Structure 1
């Protein structure tokens, strides 16, 4: 698959995003501006069904298209900074050799011959983090996969597959995702997280597919390093610096690890009890970095140089986050998001019942590129999709499942999703190479998901 012309012709990530920016600006001259009426329910803005109406068009001018770029950076400043803060934290921890020694010791203990088992277990580990912890909350865990992947003979692409891919699938297909399933069930007036067994099975199968694909990729590049998609990526500071047999964990390493684990514990407590998000997470990342420097008695000059070097390595990913957010800014300026949602719903009318649910998931996949927020997409589209589904003979539970599939699976290749780009940047993996790697997984999971949707339709799920 990696040799096909389709994958080899994927342009650079920056080019992809600029093409989308130009396309969205052009669409505002073609698609009429429109909006739904909205009401506030429990502090959230929710669409009123059958309230769509056109408004005065606001097409994006050539100058406004470029003006939207700095506005995109302004809108994404919190995500941009968490990429930089995460890079600083990892850079300091890498300088202490803690992650390298821990990973080296793990590989030495398990044996390099069990590297495929390590890939399988770590893929599910990161998947479970996505299911139970969340999405962007796991950004601090991503660089560990980079060190581990290279230690067992993999590359940074495999690291992204193990961590970013698994977190995205686990979060996107989680049976207890509060942002998609939770919000959807509230809108549909269904018991919270009902229908969990089928969602759990789909989530497990998605992670199984990814883990087997990761193993297959590792086998391929082990036989021939030239087949590595990440052979030209910067691995400086991530590679192991000595033979596996020489690795041990020092008391100082355990102290740094304790600081890191304590920091993660504080983050989880803040997330679940105080609704912490990017700003608070960034603050804790910086505190972890400083604490790690103090634990190993790093002198101020070395610490400062490490921070600046870490920022330099994280800067390209941080730039991509702001650049991608430009797309959302353009959609808001052009007032076409609601029009796209409305027209997608209209297309579904007339579909036979057994294809209606699949059509819903496809339409949600397309809308997801314009409204990357799961909860935002739920609030904008489900009040329209749920009554439409009932007209088409699709149960509310199946409509929520179709929405979750459309939102969750396509997030693997969504260039407008800031969290995805932020985590890929932690692995130093550009979007174009990620697309080449992950597209077969996306197609496979979508096909399986559509089979599940057909089953759900026929079984009155």
Structure 2
């Protein structure tokens, strides 16, 4: 070949999710050399939760992340996230059994037939259902398997994979972020703040309705545009390469067995909500419930034992990349924990709020909680770290503790739908095969709208309600 022959330039590939998150781990490790180490004392409250003791912050010897510690934090993050990682595998495996029955596809296929050209109205139905789940019993990790159903469904209806993913993620997180009785955010935060559990629900429901309506409208407007002109989709080229068959069981009617399976699914979701709200269920109990569901579904479908096992394994295989992404995200948190910089960040930002005028104090709390969620993506974890400080601080600033909880709630919830340290988001995007940068480009206008709504709600609550 001639030396003058032009070389083929490789097309730019956006970095893999693992690369992005490991890059964030490196950046976080570097910041541990810039942020002084500090620590609050921890105490155990009457509910057995370990919380921060306000007024106990002190600087300690700096422990920045070393070269080997950077790489060790990946394994330690996986270990810390083991509960969630294996939860994802178990739920994914259980839904693998459910998916093998083609029941959900058949249900959506039947519904699409009945809509007959009005498929756009399926979007608010799905999103409203997920928003109710997110706003009531804190549904989050559980939606990951639904991505595998929603993306093909959206493509069959003439939309794109972005619409399918948004129906799930935007729906559940709109409900989760503006929740009226989420036990993992509102419940924990109110407990730490010394407020009656789920008090102020009437106000929260009104805010929830507005928040969710805006999210649904955003997705529907985009979906309508894509259906009219598919080329405007950010995922147009990628979606053309997907192997989505239109002539499968989803276009046929539901069988009696599939109806029975859907009833089992519905009872599982109801049982999950009841268990979380009345029995305090968390990941272990929820995982057990889904295992039971998977076994019952397999029996109803008349699968042989090996078929049930193989379907479970296949479901787990679909979750591998997404589950490991959660471990990477926890690796970032592990670096901050081991370097004792989280408490320092909290101390300085809370002092900034304390210096604000009373009229701006509630908004300051909202901003602080929003920033804190990037380094503590767990809702209950963020509540345990911040609310013991924000609750008494709100008393000093003349801000109601209910408003402080509301500021925490929106600050914790909104960024979950776009921050790369959110394990559920990254896992879902991996399953949908949507690059994070494209998702960010699509979701950013909605996120800005939601932050504006959060600021308005917190201000209204501060000035006129609480």
Q: TM over 0.5, yes or no?
A: yes
**1:380 deviation in Å?**
1.6
Q: 1:53 to 1:208 in 2, by over 3 A?
A: same
Task: Say if 1:150 and 1:239, in contact at 8 Å, map to a contact too.
Answer: no
**1:20 deviation in Å?**
1.7
Q: Which residue of 298, 303, 323 maps to 2:303? A: 298
Q: Which residue of 354, 375, 380 maps to 1:370? A: 375
Task: Give the structure 1 partner of residue 33 of structure 2.
Answer: 29
**1:208 deviation in Å?**
0.9
Task: Say if 1:357 and 1:394, in contact at 8 Å, map to a contact too.
Answer: yes
1:411 aligns with 2:416: yes
Task: Say if 1:87 and 1:311, in contact at 8 Å, map to a contact too.
Answer: yes
1:311 aligns with 2:343: no
Distance (whole Å) between structure 2 residues aligned to residue 270 and residue 194 of structure 1? 20
Q: Matched residue pairs, number?
A: 452
Task: Say if 2:140 and 2:173, in contact at 8 Å, map to a contact too.
Answer: no
Superposition pairs for residues 108-187 of structure 1, below 5 Å? 108-111=113-116, 113-136=117-140, 138-139=142-143, 143-187=148-192
Task: Say if 1:151 and 1:240, in contact at 8 Å, map to a contact too.
Answer: yes
1:14 aligns with 2:18: yes
Task: Give the structure 2 partner of residue 434 of structure 1.
Answer: 439
Q: Which residue of 386, 394, 405 maps to 1:381? A: 386
1:90 aligns with 2:95: yes
Distance (whole Å) between structure 1 residues aligned to residue 465 and residue 289 of structure 2? 46
Secondary structure class of the residue paired with 1:46: strand
Task: Give the structure 2 partner of residue 252 of structure 1.
Answer: 257
Task: Say if 1:415 and 1:421, in contact at 8 Å, map to a contact too.
Answer: yes
Q: 1:106 to 1:93 in 2, by over 3 A?
A: same
Task: Give the structure 1 partner of residue 206 of structure 2.
Answer: 201
Task: Say if 1:79 and 1:419, in contact at 8 Å, map to a contact too.
Answer: no
**1:60-98 deviation line (CA, Å, top 9, x unaligned):** 101100111011111112222222223323333232221
Q: 1:301 to 1:9 in 2, by over 3 A?
A: closer
Distance (whole Å) between structure 1 residues aligned to residue 313 and residue 249 of structure 2? 29
**1:234-274 deviation line (CA, Å, top 9, x unaligned):** 99787543498x52111221233233334434434543454
**1:351-407 deviation line (CA, Å, top 9, x unaligned):** 233322222111111111122222222222122223333433333222222121111
Q: Which residue of 311, 318, 321 maps to 2:326? A: 321
Task: Give the structure 1 partner of residue 193 of structure 2.
Answer: 188
Q: 1:155 to 1:78 in 2, by over 3 A?
A: farther
Task: Say if 1:316 and 1:425, in contact at 8 Å, map to a contact too.
Answer: yes
Superposition pairs for residues 267-346 of structure 1, below 5 Å? 267-299=272-304, 303=308, 305-346=310-351
Q: Which residue of 71, 76, 87 maps to 1:71? A: 76
**1:193 deviation in Å?**
3.0
Task: Give the structure 1 partner of residue 107 of structure 2.
Answer: 102
**1:398-454 deviation line (CA, Å, top 9, x unaligned):** 222212111111222233333444455565545434323322111101112212223
Distance (whole Å) between structure 1 residues aligned to residue 292 and residue 130 of structure 2? 24
1:241 aligns with 2:270: no
Task: Say if 2:137 and 2:277, in contact at 8 Å, map to a contact too.
Answer: no
Q: 1:147 to 1:90 in 2, by over 3 A?
A: farther
Task: Give the structure 2 partner of residue 5 of structure 1.
Answer: none
Task: Give the structure 2 partner of residue 3 of structure 1.
Answer: none
Secondary structure class of the residue paired with 1:128: helix
Q: 1:58 to 1:117 in 2, by over 3 A?
A: same
**1:166 deviation in Å?**
1.5
Task: Give the structure 1 partner of residue 403 of structure 2.
Answer: 398
Distance (whole Å) between structure 1 residues aligned to residue 243 and residue 308 of structure 2? 15
Secondary structure class of the residue paired with 2:51: strand
Q: TM-score, normalized by length of structure 2?
A: 0.87
Distance (whole Å) between structure 1 residues aligned to residue 135 and residue 351 of structure 2? 33
Distance (whole Å) between structure 1 residues aligned to residue 65 and residue 298 of structure 2? 48
Q: 1:262 to 1:367 in 2, by over 3 A?
A: same
Deviating more after overlay: 114-123 vs 305-314: 305-314
Distance (whole Å) between structure 2 residues aligned to residue 186 and residue 288 of structure 1? 32
Distance (whole Å) between structure 1 residues aligned to residue 292 and residue 197 of structure 2? 36
Deviating more after overlay: 269-278 vs 82-91: 269-278
Distance (whole Å) between structure 2 residues aligned to residue 212 and residue 457 of structure 1? 27
Which segments of 5 or more consecutive residues in structure 1 lack a partner in the other structure? 1-7
Task: Say if 1:127 and 1:166, in contact at 8 Å, map to a contact too.
Answer: yes
